[in-house]
Chain A
């Protein structure tokens, strides 16, 4: 299994500002995934982050709004830029066990934009 540390665990931010969320994995992984979970909703994949290349974004998500860094095989950041109340969500990072197929998740970052 993989242990994922995500921080901050929660934050309250002013609209128009940006927040960077950090995700640290206890082992080297090729891909890291960022999800958004809006209140009362399921998980929606934002982007897939590979080390050494640009992240791949899902439909509806763009790099200017959600820039991602992946400087090495154990770490990634997601920035939520120019925030609005609609960005209030839980943001989760994840890695996949290539052998067993299951995903492991960080504890999530609960973001509230006021």
Chain B
């Protein structure tokens, strides 16, 4: 079965600095990959996803992630973070023909400091 590893449990950064949240996956077949964001006291919201095609995917609020098959990674990046980006970020993986079985990483808490 597929699995996800998020290498950093906490990432503190200063406002306007770049950030990278790391995600590696394990699967014996092709995958769909997702990043979700969870703000305090809220449910999870989809940030971006990779299904196929271009390996670089972007969100509307400036985040991007790149699917790297050889390194089995899907790292999330933002060139300049804001205070409002402070949240928990979860990487998730499913398999195209079994996308009801979604596996989540342990989460990375991004804290943006002024």
With A96-B100, A100-B49, A101-B51 as given contacts, are A42 and B43 in contact (CB-CB < 8 Å)? no
B63 CB contacts on chain A under 8 angstroms: none
Main secondary structure of the interface of A (DSSP, over half): strand
In the bound complex, residues from chain A placing their C-beta under 8 Å from that of B49 are: 100-102
CB of A101 within 8 A of CB of B43, answer no
Return A59 CB to nearest CB of chain B, in Å: 12
* Dominant secondary structure of chain B at its interface with chain A: strand
Does A69 belong to the interface (CB within 8 Å)?
no
B9 nearest in chain A by CB position: A40
Q: Is A48 an interface residue (CB 8 A)?
A: yes
> Known contacts A42-B104, A96-B100; is A101 also within 8 Å of B94 by CB?
yes
Known: A42-B104, A96-B99. A104 touches B42 (CB 8 A): no
A45 to B34 alpha-carbon distance, docked (Å): 17
Q: Is there contact, CB below 8 Å, between A31 and B100?
A: yes
A89 to B: closest C-beta gap in Å:
13
Quick check: B106 and A108 within 8 Å, CB to CB?
no
**B34 and A102 within 8 A (CB):** yes
Tell me if B44 and A105 are in contact (CB < 8 A).
yes
- Which residues of B are in contact with A by a Cβ distance under 8 Å? 32, 34, 41-46, 49, 51, 90, 92, 94, 96, 99-100, 102, 104-107
Counting from the closest, the 10 A-B pairs by CB-CB distance are A105-B43, A101-B32, A107-B43, A105-B44, A101-B99, A42-B106, A43-B104, A108-B43, A42-B104, A102-B46
Subset of 17 A-B contacts with CB under 8 Å: A6-B43, A33-B102, A42-B104, A42-B107, A43-B104, A48-B100, A92-B44, A96-B102, A100-B49, A100-B51, A101-B32, A102-B49, A103-B46, A104-B46, A107-B42, A108-B42, A108-B43
